Chains A and B, each alone.
Chain A
Amino acid sequence: MSKTLKLEILQATGNQKKRYIKNKIFQIFVVVFAIIATTPVFFILFELIKKGIKQINFDFFTKVAPDSFEAMMAVSSGKGIPGGILNGIGGTLIMVTVASIVAIPLGLLIGIFLYENGKSRYANIVRDVSDILQGAPSIVLGIISYIWIVKNVTHGFSALAGSMALAIMMLPLIIRSTEETFKMIPNSIKEAGLALGIPYHKILLKILIPTGLSGLLTGILLAISRVIGETAPLMLTALGNPTLSFNLNKPVDAVPLLIWQFYNDPNLVDLVWSSSLFLVFLVLVLNLISKRIISKRK
């Protein structure tokens, strides 16, 4: 402890001493726990990098996934596993994009609705529904999307079905973070806008959303991170595709789907780590971009 702090504590009497000590202890607590909370990241990243970094080369981003035979032939002649995850990257990008186009506007609107109608009975129901939806296992949403879209809309496995399953998964996160963010914006800002006679939708678009942008982006980023790594719902909807395809009506692959395939194939299992590293890296990039957007606005 520093000299000045010791002095302060000496000068403080009885109860005050206790308060200061409690304060310091709590702070230490917080710091220690926060640091411990980040340690799993290091462990996991370390393993991913250790095992996955050797697979990452130019081919990784530009070639489609290899199959068991090619891998076996290459490895037995001393070379590394050939190919890459291009078909997975393409599929992940298209499905996450379509899912976002559906889920972000809808989630924002519902979040705003809840913010505006806070305590009404109907709003409470909507809020509870959103929280319950958050608990739905991804595979159940995959089954739903299989029945609704694969069977009845595209009559076959498709990227559209995959996107819809992902969109449903993204909704609750965006809804809740939107509502809670708006609730933290001081009412005075909104009232000032109303007093100036600004139409409601402009208040939303030009005042509230920009003010709460940081919170909104947090929710959106969390939602995207959530769906980027999901396997189960995509298995029943997107199916997989050995080629790079952006056709919403046809099956498509995705990086987590590829990870599942690699896991189940003894000749390809080493690719699990590099593919995972890619997903984590993608989340990092999105994270940095959103932080940039927020700091630019400040």
Chain B
Amino acid sequence: MNSEKVTKRILFIASFILIILISGIVLTLISGAFPVFEKYGFSFIYSDKWDPTEGKEQYGALTYIVGTVITSLLALIICIPFAFSTSLFIGEYYKGTLVAKIIGTLIDLLAGVPSIVYGLWGFYYLRPLLFNLGENTQGYGIFTSSIVLAIMIIPYATSISTEIISLVPNHLKEAAYSLGATRLEVITNVTIPVARSGIIASYILALGRALGETMAVTMLIGNSNLMPKGIFSLGNTMASVIANQFGEASGLKLSSLIAIGLLLFVVTGFINGIGKLIIKKFA
């Protein structure tokens, strides 16, 4: 019994380390962002003015917040049908076969491509493709970035949900089959409900990945500081503007970038929270 207490204590300490970690991160960011909140207060969050010209500097995060939310959600929406199908393919339909193993490995490779390479590939190959489809912004923009993001997050959405789907106990499925259910019906009525939590968790992780992606987006989104008008216009995201400007920023601008970093945590928490609520409602 003593060892059980010790184990439980160790587990608790581990979880507490995470809390300390994030508190430390938030505090550090707050202290760096302080000058900005002192100057603008909450208007920083809903202002879309971003003017770095010396002498008339003005900063506001709204453009970036909008860009981040649109690209990430769009990427997730594009990714889900593919990720879900792949998970079912590997974890259910062709479970254990060589084809499944190959496809699984291929998808995992997508996670291994460095983000800067996604940016380059998108820049050299995807961009001209989209440009030829009639965009007038040289193939840059929110839509382009979302497509590349969707590809980047497929492994995150797939890997874990595949594992979870394949762990659904056979006896549950067999019971349904013995009642005459078709494959689809077993999936809808047994597999998905049982694996639901894991599948959702993997999509949340994929969304998180999309929200925080820096390099690839920065090379494709066009880096406009104006509010985007539609998914084909240029835009900018929070992670991208931080990456683009951090190397050369100082003073109030640097604080603005750190404030945006802080806000990204808030935005992530917000979107995750709403997502989890929606899922609860559909339970």
Contact = CB atoms under 8 A, between A and B. Distances in A.
A143 to B, nearest CB: 7
B133 interface: no
Contacts of B111: 222, 225-226, 283
B214 A138 contact: yes
A200 B202 CA distance: 28
Contacts of A172: 205, 208
A283 B265 CA distance: 29
Given A27-B183, A109-B14, A232-B214, A131 B242 contact: no
Q: How large is the interface on A (under 10, 10 to 19, 20 to 34, 35 or more residues)?
A: 35 or more
Interface-centre pick from A29, A226, A282, A283 (highest chain B CB count, 10 A): A283
Nearest to B254: A143
Contact of B201 (A135, A144, A176, A228): A176
A112 B13 CA distance: 12
Q: How large is the interface on B (under 10, 10 to 19, 20 to 34, 35 or more residues)?
A: 35 or more
A262 B207 CA distance: 30
Main secondary structure of the interface of A (DSSP, over half): helix
B282 interface: no
Contacts of A6: none
Nearest to B162: A218
Contacts of A32: 85
Nearest to A225: B111
Interface string B113-133: 111111011001100000000
Interface in A92-143: 106, 109-110, 112-114, 116, 122-123, 125-126, 128-141, 143
A140 B198 contact: no
A60 interface: no
A284 B113 contact: no
Contacts of A48: 117
Given A131-B204, A132-B269, A283 B108 contact: yes
Interface in A65-90: none
A44 B151 CA distance: 11
A39 B116 CA distance: 19
B116 A259 contact: yes
B178 to A, nearest CB: 16
A106 B17 contact: yes
Interface stretch (B3-11, B34-42, B226-234): B3-11
A215 B268 contact: no
B192 interface: no
Contacts of B3: 199-201
Given A44-B113, A177-B160, A276-B114, A34 B197 contact: no
B116 A263 contact: yes
A41 B110 contact: yes
B112 to A, nearest CB: 3
A40 B215 contact: no
B117 to A, nearest CB: 4
A269 to B, nearest CB: 10
A44 B121 contact: yes
B18 A43 contact: no
B82 A36 contact: yes
Contacts of A272: 117, 120
A150 interface: no
Contact of B164 (A133, A215, A228, A263): A215
B44 interface: no
A273 to B, nearest CB: 8
Nearest to A30: B85
Contacts of A109: 10-11, 14-15
B50 interface: no
Given A114-B15, A199-B4, A34 B89 contact: yes
Contacts of B261: 136-137, 139-140, 143
A236 B267 CA distance: 24
B113 A132 contact: no
A232 B243 contact: yes
Contact of A34 (B103, B115, B205): B103
Contact of B4 (A29, A33, A200): A200
A173 B86 CA distance: 20
19 contacts: A27-B184, A33-B84, A33-B86, A37-B85, A106-B18, A122-B15, A131-B205, A133-B21, A148-B24, A176-B202, A180-B163, A181-B167, A219-B160, A221-B108, A225-B155, A229-B117, A231-B215, A283-B108, A284-B105
Given A41-B110, A131-B205, 8 more contacts: A19-B182, A23-B184, A116-B11, A131-B268, A137-B261, A139-B242, A183-B197, A222-B155
Interface pairs A-B: 3 shortest CB-CB: A283-B112, A229-B114, A135-B268
